[in-house]
Amino acid sequence: MEQLLAVELGDSYKPNAITAVCGCTDLGHDEVRRLIKAKELKTIPRVMQALEWKTSCGCAKCRPALNYYLVCDWPDEYEDDYQSRFIYERVHANIQKDGTYSVVPRMWGGITSAIELRKIADVVEKFDIPTVKVTGGQRIDMLGVQKEDLPAVWADLGEVGFVSGHAYAKGLRTVKTCVGSDWCRFGTQDSTGLGVRIEKFMWGSWTPAKVKMAVSGCPRNCSEATCKDVGVICVDSGYELHFAGAAGLDIKGTEVLGHVKTEDEVIEHVVALTQMYREQGHYLERIYKWAKRIGVDEIRRQIMENGEARQGYFSRFIFSQKYAQVDPWSERVSGKDKHEFIPMSDLKLEAAE
């Protein structure tokens, strides 16, 4: 078959052809990631120089990818390149079709309180926010915020402890939970508490693409854990770990990773799985696509059967979190990237003049 294709297609036929990251290089994502480590490349210009990029500054495809790979590989040394991020990751809010932004604070495991809800109500009134929406990830979205108001909105939300929900990020989004054994008569374990624990452990981490998680208190699965990137189903004997689900452009049920007995083991396995994906995923590749490329059995082998590999992933994630768990909203309230939120000119005023 290969010979036939070679005869038919001539030079354009390349067996096992690698898809290049973009037009700036002939290298694929795996090769770029491997060489970043092997050659200890620690800045975007160094990567481009050492790997003979064809363009001087890269493009909108390769720069965010390289920025992610460097953040992942050198968490303590690489300084995140703000210029290589898309607008929503630069301003830490989702841009909407009318040019305004949406603001989603983190609600750990979907839990909130009267104090938090009162603060959201105050912010909505004070900044005249037109729409307040409950999201599928069990959080509250304030839509229609003016860009120049974002730091003041975050400052007010921060007064009651709200931090960014990273609803715009290629990183950990939500950990959806059900009420579990605290309230539900079918609950086998404290699914809410476990979801909060996972979210507090893992928030802030950058990943190749967004990561959504869920914990259900029993196989009735009210938090829909079996269509998430990572899901946990609590059962009488412990916890069933799932991964590689999808419920967006593609619909796919999860694969079973394995079974563990304690909450600590859940954290260790989920974190190790996520770190394996962080280290091997191609930029913008969701977990279910990465799992298809690497092989579900291989992932199971490394995470469930190879304790040494699992511990390695786990400790590298913990090390990286030391540098990742910084709330971007409070940084900007303190003045970081101030220029992003100052309008270049008042068009209404100029039109009136």
Can you say how many angstroms the Cα of residue 52 is from the centroid of all Cα atoms in its chain? 30
Binding residue for ligand SF4 (CB under 6 A) from 142, 222, 287, 303?
Answer: 222
Number of shown-chain residues binding ligand SF4 (CB under 6 A): 13
For 302-328, b where at least 16 C-beta lie within 10 A, e where not — what string?
Answer: bbbeeeeebebbbebbeebbeebeebb
The DSSP code sequence of 238-301 is EEEEEE--EESSSEEPPEEEEEESSHHHHHHHHHHHHHHHHHHPPTT--HHHHHHHH-HHHHHI
User: Minimal distance in Å, beta carbon 235 to ligand SF4?
Assistant: 10
Token couple for 121: 């109500």
The binding track of 36-75 with respect to ligand SF4, each residue x by CB under 6 A or -, is: ----------------------------------------
Does 220 help bind ligand SF4 (rule: CB under 6 A)? yes
Sole window of 125-133, 176-184, 285-293, 319-327 interacting with ligand SF4 (rule: CB under 6 A)? 176-184
Does 294 help bind ligand SF4 (rule: CB under 6 A)? no
Sole window of 1-9, 54-62, 138-146, 180-188 interacting with ligand SF4 (rule: CB under 6 A)? 180-188
Cβ(66)–Cβ(58) below 8 Å: yes
Binders in 189-208 for ligand SF4, by CB under 6 A: 191
For residues 98 and 95, give the distance between their C-alpha atoms in angstroms, rounded to a whole number: 8
Does 182 help bind ligand SF4 (rule: CB under 6 A)? no
Residue among 231, 238, 296 at smallest CA distance from 265: 238
For residues 203 and 327, give the distance between their C-alpha atoms in angstroms, rounded to a whole number: 10
Does 281 help bind ligand SF4 (rule: CB under 6 A)? no
User: Minimal distance in Å, beta carbon 190 to ligand SF4?
Assistant: 10
Does 280 help bind ligand SF4 (rule: CB under 6 A)? no
Does 82 help bind ligand SF4 (rule: CB under 6 A)? no
Task: Please report where in the chains the tokens 């969701």 appear, as a residue.
Answer: 286
33 vs 197, beta carbon nearer ligand SF4: 197
For residues 217 and 256, give the distance between their C-alpha atoms in angstroms, rounded to a whole number: 16
Does 178 help bind ligand SF4 (rule: CB under 6 A)? yes
Binding residue for ligand SF4 (CB under 6 A) from 221, 280, 306, 330?
Answer: 221
Interface residues with ligand SF4 (CB under 6 A) are 178-180, 184, 186-187, 191, 216-218, 220-222
